[in-house]
Structure 1
Amino acid sequence: MRAESWHIERCGIDYCARMTLTADEDDERRLSQDEALHHAAGLAVFRPDQLNRGDRRFLADATQVFLEMIRCGPQAVVAALDKGIGLGDQADVAATFAAIDAGAAGAAKLARLRRLMAQPGMVWLVDRVATGGLFAPCPAPDCARIYTASR
């Protein structure tokens, strides 16, 4: 596998070298940014200081939707169980969310996302979603209510 990885990387280097022969300054900048991201080092493309009010609102709304999906537990897993074995009433569904430890798994994912989001210039976003309680998983009965409402 190592030789294959080296060959693929070498092809990428050769390709980039050929591209720079015909690239203008903007193309070269984009190419270097792409390579920096590819290698997880160097230039950063995201600049939080350049977000306008609309960008910030969109980012906050999208983050809220994403975090809500995690907070409400593995709805698709419970749906598959319900379809396969039938879970009965809302209490059975809540017991299922508790049995698969959805709260602990959600808490771990939300904590990791919070750490990843805590980048320079992004404190406003972390504070905004934290104020709404979005870094806390829903308890099993709430996850069950969400599921049974969509049945």
Structure 2
Amino acid sequence: MNQYQKTAGFDLPHIQSDDKLRRVLSSALKSRLGNDPVSPEFMSDRYWDAAHFNLEKVQVFQDSSQQEQGEILRLCSGGLIEEAYFIEKAGVGYMAKMVLLAETTEERMLYALFSSDEVAHLAQISRFLPEKDLVGTEDPFLRFLADLVETQDKTVLLFVLQIVLEGWGLSHYRNLAKDCLNPQLSSLFEGFLQDESRHHGTGVTLFNQMSVSQASRATIIETLALFLQMVRVGPQSVVSAIEQVKGHLSRQQKVSIFEELDTEIHSGTRLNLLRSLMRGEAAGIIVQELEDRGAFQPFPAQKCV
């Protein structure tokens, strides 16, 4: 079995819209979410403008035709929607797993409720996806996430996923909501924040009650070093979208694009946020080890290619 058919469920297929089970699910979701379809006039393939991606600073983008600019923005926007879809899909499996790892009745009840939150988020974000089944992904961050949720070490899960990644996700969703051109989608991301804040806060509470073993600490450090490396290399997806539309880019062209995207500032801001999330007595050694490795230092444009 492919690893993504497990907790993250990235390879799980969708059933047909006329399937009886689909109708039962729709009825259950309606009782939770109400009848809230996406208004056709609000549907789009470009939900964020060039400024959100810093593309107004990129010369090759500015020199492109209106059609090419539109396609680049479509790819960038679509990437954000698909990423949110897979994150929420993984969240359903993760919260279900934490139900089984719960050590008290109340903890089990909380995680069962959290799984329901993730189901609601998944259903809502799916309404903004094209009419296609998203099965599987090669995105490096999502593959990292799929690997992470398979671990059986609860300490690692709480610190890396609920404290660091969910904390980072709060800032990410807040920015998506603020810059989104679509009122319904912006409202949707705003609505996610209260739930995600509760998930993050629970992770902080549970982690602070734990004693962190040397083995768990070592795993946390290695896992976060890998994740921070992805952040350090800058907005790779934006450069990839440009190359898909414009054709092959030379190394020097990519370096120039990363420079115009202010990649060190872009990555540095995110790395500082991630470091600020690693609070508490038990986190001190983790942060120090990552600092010693230079894991919070963004790469210059030349090293992003």
Q: After alignment, is 26-35 or 106-115 more displaced?
A: 26-35
1:48–1:121 CA contact under 8 A, matched in 2 = no
Match of 1:78 among 221, 239, 242: 239
Kindly report which structure 2 residues correspond to 1:97-136, keeping only aligned pairs within 5 A, or say none: 97-136=258-297
Structure 1 gap ranges (5+): 1-7, 9-24, 145-151
Pick closer, same or farther for the CA change 1:105–1:83 going to 2, 3 Å: same
1:70–1:110 CA contact under 8 A, matched in 2 = yes
For 1:136 and 1:103, locate their aligned partners in 2 and report how far apart those are by CA, in whole Å: 9
Correspondence 1:44 to 2:186: no
The equivalent of 2:304 in structure 1 is 143
For 1:49 and 1:89, locate their aligned partners in 2 and report how far apart those are by CA, in whole Å: 50
For 2:273 and 2:107, locate their aligned partners in 1 and report how far apart those are by CA, in whole Å: 32
1:73–1:103 CA contact under 8 A, matched in 2 = yes
Deviation readout 1:85-130 (Å, 9 max, x if unpaired): 1353111100000111111110000011111113222110100011
> TM-score if structure 1 supplies the norm length?
0.68
The equivalent of 1:21 in structure 2 is none
For 2:241 and 2:209, locate their aligned partners in 1 and report how far apart those are by CA, in whole Å: 40
The equivalent of 2:91 in structure 1 is none
Runs of 4+ in 1 over 2 A off after TM superposition: 28-35, 37-41
Match of 2:104 among 26, 36, 52: 26
Kindly report which structure 2 residues correspond to 1:55-66, keeping only aligned pairs within 5 A, or say none: 55-66=216-227
Amino acid at match of 2:291: A
Higher relative contact order (CA 8 A, sep 6+): 1
For 2:283 and 2:225, locate their aligned partners in 1 and report how far apart those are by CA, in whole Å: 14
For 2:304 and 2:247, locate their aligned partners in 1 and report how far apart those are by CA, in whole Å: 17
Structure 2 gap ranges (5+): 1-31, 33-102, 115-196
The equivalent of 2:175 in structure 1 is none
Larger Rg: 1
Percent identity over the alignment? Answer: 26
Task: Compute the RMSD of aligned alpha carbons.
Answer: 2.8
Deviation at 1:38, TM superposition (A): 3.1
3-state SS, counterpart of residue 50 of structure 1: coil
The equivalent of 1:93 in structure 2 is 254
Pick closer, same or farther for the CA change 1:29–1:97 going to 2, 3 Å: closer
Amino acid at match of 2:300: P
Deviation readout 1:40-83 (Å, 9 max, x if unpaired): 47x81113751212211110111001100000111121111111
> TM-score if structure 2 supplies the norm length?
0.35
1:107–1:137 CA contact under 8 A, matched in 2 = yes
Amino acid at match of 2:205: A
Count of residue correspondences: 120
Decide which structure has greater helix share. Answer: 1
